[in-house]
Amino acid sequence: MAYIPADHRYEGMKYNRVGRSGLKLPAISLGLWHNFGGINPAENSREMIHKAFDLGITHFDLANNYGPPAGSAEETFGKILAQDLKSYRDELVISTKAGYYMWPGPYGDWGSRKYLISSLDQSLKRMGVDYVDIFYHHRFDPETPLEETMAALDHIVRSGKALYVGVSNYKAEQTAEAIRILEQLGTPLIIHQPRYSMLDRWIENGLQDVLEENGVGSIAFCPLEQGVLTNKYLKGIPADSRAASSSVFLTKDKITPEVLRKIHALNQIAASRGQSLAQLALAWVLRNGKVTSALIGASRASQIEENVAALNQLEFSQEELDRIENILKTDHIE
């Protein structure tokens, strides 16, 4: 059956301006890091993208190595785009990245001009598009001069292969230097994609200040800590969870008694607000306007629907913020 997007898709979504740029992103964006690879059921991936777009999620975030296997998430998205969303391309923001290992040899990793331009060319072919809206350098390269990496991003915009550029996983001082170089080149850095959640607040120690001072937006990945800040672990570690499967990204030893105490206490606050723990965590990430968009993952369409519903209750009282802060900063919760 042909896909027809919901007529009301823009009515419930909130859109935030990306720094001082002209671009706006939905407050909730969909990341294709997991569950969109070649090993995943294609129909489920398609259903999730349909649901996201129906709910006003216009931004779909990828990277060259998303899968598995690497590259297959872009291929999956490209097929869905061609089949269902081709006529809506101008309503979409598509982003991809390069910076981690992608192919063997000295040119398939890190931040050289050779790697970034070659990787984006491959990504465009996999997705079947002429350009992406945002292209990110995925991680800082300590061995390649930052001037070379930023010049490659500038070239990519000038060549028409991306409309905007960003960085991901850069520290505060690295980001400040990237901003300076790109400003001199005439292609502004508009967005940073850092990890940020209630349980991982490193960006508050300098990076958010750099972004705010320079008019750069941010999109937080792992705002739900790969499911830790959901109801999944409230009763222990489920057999079908990432932690149980010894995922390289989320291991059992990260679900400590202290973490469990915190999520139970946070869940009580969520319930008092009429929210799920996931909805509370997303609202908290978006709470002060410093984060442009929260980047969610999903394994089924209903999760996307639940997460977008967080936008129905974004306001916090000072008492709620104080209670949350007390929970997050203490080593023991009464």
pLDDT tens per residue, range 269-316: 999 999 999 999 999 999 999 999 999 999 999 999 999 999 999 999
Q: Is 28 in contact with 308 (CB distance < 8 Å)?
A: yes
Q: How much is the pTM?
A: 0.94
The class (CATH top level) of 15-226+285-299 is alpha beta
Reported as a pLDDT band with limits 50, 70 and 90, residue 334 is: very low
Q: What is the pLDDT of residue 242?
A: 55
Kindly state the tokens that stand for 233: 């672990």
How many angstroms separate the first and last alpha carbons of the chain?
A: 54
Q: Distances in Å between the alpha carbon of 214 and those of 20, 79, 179, 208, 240?
A: 8, 37, 8, 10, 43
- Residue 186: which region, alpha, beta or left (left: phi > 0; alpha: psi -120 to 50)? left
Any residues with CB less than 8 A from the CB of 130 and at least 6 apart, and which?
124, 160, 161
DSSP 238-281: -TTSTTTTT-SSS-GGGS-HHHHHHHHHHHHHHHHTT--HHHHH
Collapsed DSSP state (helix, strand, coil) of residue 66: coil
Beta bridge partners of residue 59, listed in sequence order = 93
| pLDDT at 224 > cutoff 60 | yes
The string of pLDDT tens digits covering residues 33-80 is 999 999 999 999 999 999 999 999 999 999 999 999 999 999 999 999
Q: Is 214 in contact with 285 (CB distance < 8 Å)?
A: no
Any residues with CB less than 8 A from the CB of 221 and at least 6 apart, and which?
31, 33, 168, 193, 194, 195, 196, 295
Collapsed DSSP state (helix, strand, coil) of residue 27: coil
Question: Can you state the angle between helices 277-285 and 301-308, rounded to 10 degrees?
Answer: 60
Helices and strands, counts by H and E, the chain: 10, 10
The string of pLDDT tens digits covering residues 140-194 is 999 999 999 999 999 999 999 999 999 999 999 999 999 999 999 999 999 999 9
Say which amino acid occupies 159.
S
- Residue 107: which region, alpha, beta or left (left: phi > 0; alpha: psi -120 to 50)? alpha
Q: What is the pLDDT of residue 327?
A: 97
